[in-house]
Amino acid sequence: MQVSNVNDVKIYNLSYGRSLPEWLSDRKKRRLQKNDVDIRRRIELIQDFEMPTVSTTIKVSRDGQYIIATGTYKPRIRCYDTYQLSMKFERCLDSEVITFEVLSDDYSKIVFLQCDRYVEFHSQHGHYYRTRIPKFGRDFSHHYPSCDLYFVGASSEVYRLNLEQGRFLNSLQTDASQNNVCDINPAHYLFATGSTEGKVECWDPRTRNRVGMLDCALSSVTTDAEIDGLPSISALKFKGALHMAVGTSTGQVLLYDLRSSRPLIVKDHYYGLPIKSIEFQEQLDLVISADSRIVKMWNQNTGKIFTSVETQHEINDLCLYPNSGMFFLANESPKMNTFYVPTLGPAPRWCSFLDNLTEELEENPETTVYDDYKFVTKKDLENLGLAHLIGSPLLRAYMHGFFMDIRLYHKVKAMANPFAYEEYRKDKIRQKIEETRAQRVQVMKLPKVNKELAMKFIEEEEAEEQVQKKKGKSLPNILRDERFKVMFENPDFQVDEASEEFRLINPIVSKASEKRKKKLKQLQEHRETEQEEEELEGKPSDAESSESSDDDRAWVEEVQKQHKLLRREQKLKLMECDQQTHSKPKFFEIKAGEEFKNFKDAARKQKLLKTTLEDRLKHEEKTGTLHLSDTTVGSKQLTFTLKKSEQQKKRQEAEKQHHEERRRLRRSAGHLRGKAVKGKPFF
């Protein structure tokens, strides 16, 4: 609960604080209430008193037991039972509700005006009937004696729907192009409608004739008010038989006596916002008017402000609970605000505990240790010469220092430092001198990182300033831009001019800067004399084309030079790498199962592989591995012996040993078998 004191009037915001989500379990809610002080101290007057997104309108039934509110999204209506302090039911609708009216004492008969021209009737069990009006509606009122509904909207006609006969009656023709609001006097049932032209027309429902007209647009204009257009009527409310309050779209509230065409009081909200709702508080003769930003309460006789309430979100509707000091606000937020002002009246019967709670808060006001006190440390006390006061009632210990009376602090400081005013005066003089120095010509200061790039930006900016001044445009400065500040402070962003990318792009950048300088020179010459301007304008196109072609050739030559230099550097790097590899010794790996003899055999084999087939045959014939002979037929016969590798030789020797062992075993087995046949035992 938040307490505010505006104009010496206590206002209690009962909906202040965070709301807990519905999907939380009771155990988690209790845990949050134990840990969070704000949740523990909040007052949930009515359970789930909120909408999913936005609440548009809110009203109280005649018996005061039910609070009915509409909102989005999705479009819905919620009814709250004050006796149970919880939501009674919720119904979803097809479209958003502009306004609604409770026809019965409770929630059993409700009429909704929707944004798609439909009028929907609800009974106690739910949806009952739905019909449509010819034009888009903006407001409607219920005429109790004839049981008629009067609809106003985007038309000059006022549509009448009789609920007893169940049909539309002849409409009322007004002089306005469109009507925004309407209301019916509860005493003599005079019907009034407010138009977009700022006029209020009053009709007698018995004769269906217009009985009067008020021009509120001219009456709302005061000497101090600044109005851009014609004010239209945005709110209308009757009080008793003779008084009527009119709210305009420019933020003025006009209080009329029906017997006079001039307003009794014109009250301006000074925000220029349309008045959304108007209510009357009869006990204190107050008018409560609300726009989308503030709720103001003022005296209807004098116009003096009583108090005001500002909210964080835009206000959509205001509803005053009858015969109490409580009112509700529907706003552009999920939570519907509930305010209680004890000065306006007592709390409603269903929440009478609020009176006891507010009385206790007024009797025991909370005082904070920071009011009229100055926090000082022990070092500050020593500088002021007040260290001897530690432990006395003049100092209140708190954390790492002390609180002392602010008046005592100012007196001691003035005595301890009598030249404080002189120091303050010198500081002011020094500041003024620095301001004048800033207007002088300053030496150009370059950053530590990317100095050449900063110089380039500064030169370009100075050159373009003269051109842009005449056009009235200002270009952004990269050096002063916070987004590029790190580029001139962090060494990691230093431009490497020796890199390949920079050297390839550099001709393009330099050429662009040269072209820019040429253009600036031409513009300067163009301004100096008219003759030079004529010469520049009369220059033949061939000269311009030749200049552009020369520029392109020079640019191509520069790019080619950079490419040649880069190729030379790459060749030099490759040569250095080859020299390093040749100077280092080579290592060879021998496969498993092979023996290393010498490097000469390997070199000899490499030479043989490079020779022709004829040379290799001759060499093998000399060594004896190949034999070539002629046959009788005339052909050649070639015989050769295959060279066996060391692994094959070892494998053959192992096979021979294996065969010999098997032969030996066969012989020994045959010898033993012969002995057994002769009759001798085997073992």
pLDDT tens digits, 560-614 = 777 777 777 777 777 776 666 555 565 656 666 555 555 556 667 777 777 787 7
Count Cβ atoms below 10 Å from residue 8 Cβ, excluding itself.
Answer: 7
When pLDDT is averaged across residues 616-625 and rounded to a whole number, the result is: 75
Higher pLDDT, 55 or 664: 55
Residue with the two structure tokens 């007004």:
174
Query: Does 58 score more than 90 pLDDT?
Result: yes
Higher pLDDT, 421 or 105: 105
pLDDT in tens, 145-200: 999 999 999 999 999 999 999 999 999 999 999 999 999 999 999 999 999 999 99
Q: Is 385 left (phi over 0), alpha (psi -120 to 50) or beta?
A: left
What integer pLDDT is reported at residue 550 of this predicted model? 60
In this prediction, residues 257-280 reach a mean pLDDT of 91
* 549/84: higher pLDDT: 84
Q: Please, what is the average pLDDT of the chain?
A: 80
The answer to whether residue 275 scores a pLDDT higher than 80 is yes
Could you read off the pLDDT of 660-669 as tens digits, one per residue? 888 888 877 7
List, in order, residues 6 or more apart from 200 with CB less than 8 Å away.
192, 193, 194, 213, 214, 216, 233, 236, 244, 246
- Determine which of 148-162, 278-292, 409-423, 567-581 has the lowest per-residue pLDDT on average: 567-581
pLDDT tops 80 at residue 99: yes
Give the pTM.
0.54
pLDDT, average across residues 76-98:
93
pLDDT at position 440, please?
61
Please return the burial class of 20, using the count of CB atoms within 10 Å of its CB with bins 0-12, 13-18 and 19+: middle
pLDDT of residue 498: 73
pLDDT of residue 629: 66
Residue 509 has pLDDT above 80, yes or no: no
Predicted local distance difference test score (pLDDT) of residue 25: 73
% residues pLDDT > 70 (the chain): 74
pLDDT score of 270: 87
- HEC string for 75-90: CEEEEEECCCCEEEEE
Asked whether residue 421 carries a pLDDT value surpassing 60, the answer given is: yes
User: pLDDT at position 171, please?
Assistant: 93
What is the dihedral sign for C-alpha 621, 625, 630, 633? negative
Q: What is the pLDDT of residue 607?
A: 74
Residue ranges of alpha helices (H) inside 539-645 are 541-583, 599-610, 613-623
**Highest mean predicted confidence (pLDDT) among 206-220, 223-237, 286-300, 623-637:** 286-300
Where is average pLDDT lowest: 133-137, 187-191, 289-293, 617-621? 617-621
For the stretch 453-476, pLDDT in tens is 777 777 777 777 766 665 555 556
Rounded distance between C-alpha atoms, residue 407 and residue 415, angstroms: 13
Q: How confident is the model at residue 532 (pLDDT cuts 50, 70, 90)?
A: very low
Structure tokens at 190: 């005079």
Higher pLDDT: 416 or 322? It is: 322
Check whether 276 has a pLDDT greater than 90: yes
